[in-house]
Structure 1
Amino acid sequence: MTSSTRGSQKARDTLDFLRGRISSGEWAVGSLIPKEAELMELIGVGKSTVREAVRSLAAFGMLETVPGVGTFVRSRTPVSTILTEFLAEHDLEEVLVYRRSLEIEAAQHAAVNRSEEQLEALRDAYARSTAAGEGTTDTCDRSATPGAFHLLVVEASGSKLLLDLYIGVLSILQRASTEGRVILGTTIETMHRDHGAVLEAIEARDVRSAAHSMALHVDRDLGLRTDMLDFAQQTERAASLIDAGYDPESGR
């Protein structure tokens, strides 16, 4: 084996090592990865090999280096980044509808697939949110951070694809929220009540209630600024659930 072949193999192994830690969730989205010297010792390669692997993953959108701070995990897989670029070309209203579909699907799967550990994490997130009040509400600005209620629901679905798609959608919505184009369209009290209904359904492994509770919640928690003068605005799906007499608290 030539030295160039060995070098190429080391580069591939280093890339696989970093990508594996990210895609498995061991290095969570938003967290700092180990410093360069630590990675060199951990993987057993030189500085140039580590830097090349980090640059490659940054090009895929999985990592982002902030000078003077460190390198952050930006996305669990390249899927989220590609999707973000694709969604950026679409109207925000369409993105919100797509996000709604993902959240409902995630809630249904979470009711079936959630582990006891994931359920406990959801309970903790809900308790923190209700105890802290408005200052730390789980809006779209915080939904992609580790431990956020909505993100935990998607993680509890057990679907990595759903999680990747969801993070891609949130990247667009977080940017729009920062620009003031997407805002919270309900009261904090209602948001907490909605989260409680979703949690209760997932806890009971009630797929129907999980889907209905999440549908009612996402129909009113976020919206375009120009559409939010009327907080009672609902989608056709939400209206049909209400007309049918569905009660998210009772699950009927």
Structure 2
Amino acid sequence: MTTPTRGSQKARDTLDFLRGKIASSEWGVGDLIPKEPELMELIGVGKSTVREAVRSLAAFGMLETVPGVGTFVRSRTPVSTILTEFLADHDLEEVLVYRRSLEIEAAQHAAINRTEEHLERLRAAHRRAQEAPHEPVDTCDQSTVPGSFHLLVVEASGSKLLLDLYVGVLSVLQRASTEGRVILGTTLETMRRDHGAVLEAIEARDVRSAAHSMALHVDRDLGLRTDMLEFNPRTERATSLIDAGYDPDAASA
């Protein structure tokens, strides 16, 4: 998948500059890129050229602009529109189930492959959430925006394939959230506690606990607005099944 080559040489050079910073991880996934005036001075181009390049990379899923905050790196590589369109054609509940599978797998891999840099980012994301105002939130932004705890766990897995697939899922969920079809299905207090358990397991390189904690969390994390009454009972059943399947005595035998 390639980015467009039409336009002025300055526009192409600006696009290449931004892509280079992202591809080299100098601007990591979840990072805020420099503000528009800084980019203009850094690259030596005008405002319209910078905006065109940012819009192009946003269209390819590599950047995302959050009003009032700035522009985040969302993916090191262009997100396949084929994957996004494919997922968008499926029932939204199925997409949530697919997301669950990816997150559990990512948590297990993160417990093995995480680096100190990954841990620092996860700790910082968890700390920001802990320090945020305890106000009711009816949005899934906590789980889907660039720099979110969930995305950082997937990045810490060390799997580019998992990350690419997950970013495709996020594209669908972000659109559904904007349309009011997906909401945060738990309280902020529970979400913060769940994140803490996942982080603790990843820090300890405990693969079993990482999978267990993440499974419990994603079962109650996001929900369908029109299906919330059914979502919670399913969560309770899933929790019971997971608890029933984990025997500490057998594990230590």
Q: Counterpart of 1:26 in structure 2: which amino acid?
A: W
Structure 2 unmatched ranges of 5 or more: 1-6
Identical pairs, percent: 71
2:132 is aligned to 132
Q: TM-score, length-normalised on structure 1?
A: 0.73
Aligned mates of 1:234, 1:37 — CA distance in 2? 47
Equivalent residues of 1:63, 1:74 under 8 A apart: yes
**Counterpart for residue 170 of structure 1:** 170
- Cross-structure match for 2:148: 148
> Retained in 2: the 8 A contact 1:209–1:251?
no
Say what the alpha-carbon RMSD is for the aligned residues: 4.0
Residues 153, 251 of structure 1: CA spacing in aligned structure 2 closer, same or farther, 3 A cutoff? farther
Aligned residue in 1 for 2:245: 244
SS of 1:229's partner is helix
How high is the TM-score relative to the length of structure 2? 0.73
| 2:186 corresponding residue in structure 1 | 186
Matched to 2:145, the amino acid is T
Q: Structure 1 138/211 Cα, relative in aligned 2: closer, same or farther at 3 Å?
A: farther
Is the contact between residue 111 and residue 203 of structure 2 (CA under 8 Å) also seen in structure 1?
yes
Secondary structure of the 1:234 match is helix
Deviation at 1:162, TM superposition (A): 2.1
| 1:177 positional shift | 2.3
Matched residue, 2:4: none
Q: 1:74 to 1:117 in 2, by over 3 A?
A: closer
Q: Matches of 2:169 and 2:15 in 1, distance apart?
A: 26
Partner of 1:228: helix, strand, or coil?
Answer: helix
Q: Give the match for residue 96 of structure 2.
A: 96
8 Å CA contact retained: 1:138, 1:149: no
Once the two structures are superposed, residues 25-81 of structure 1 have per-residue CA deviations (whole angstroms, 9 ceiling, x without a partner) of 616558455548845x64578999878756754553445789xx9x94574222254
Residue aligning to 2:27: 26
Q: Where does residue 209 of structure 2 map in the other structure? A: 209
Residues in 2 aligned to 1:242 and 1:121: alpha-carbon distance in whole angstroms: 29
Matches within 5 A, 1:63-78: 72=71, 75-76=74-75, 77-78=77-78
CA 137–64 in structure 1, closer or farther in 2 if over 3 Å, else same: closer
**Which stretch shifts more, 163-172 or 185-194?**
185-194
Shift of 1:239: 4.7
Greater shift, 73-82 or 184-193, is seen at 73-82
Alignment check: 8 A CA contact 1:110 1:156 kept: yes
Q: Is the 8 A contact 2:186 2:220 kept in 1?
A: yes
Number of residues of Structure 1 aligned to a counterpart in Structure 2: 242
1:48-127 matched pairs, under 5 angstroms:
57=57, 60-62=60-62, 72=71, 75-76=74-75, 77-79=77-79, 81-127=81-127
Check if 1:196 corresponds to 2:234: no
Taking the aligned partners of 2:58 and 2:10, their CA distance within structure 1 comes to 18
The residue type paired with residue 241 of structure 1 is I
Amino acid at match of 2:106: A
Give the superposition deviation at 1:224. 1.5
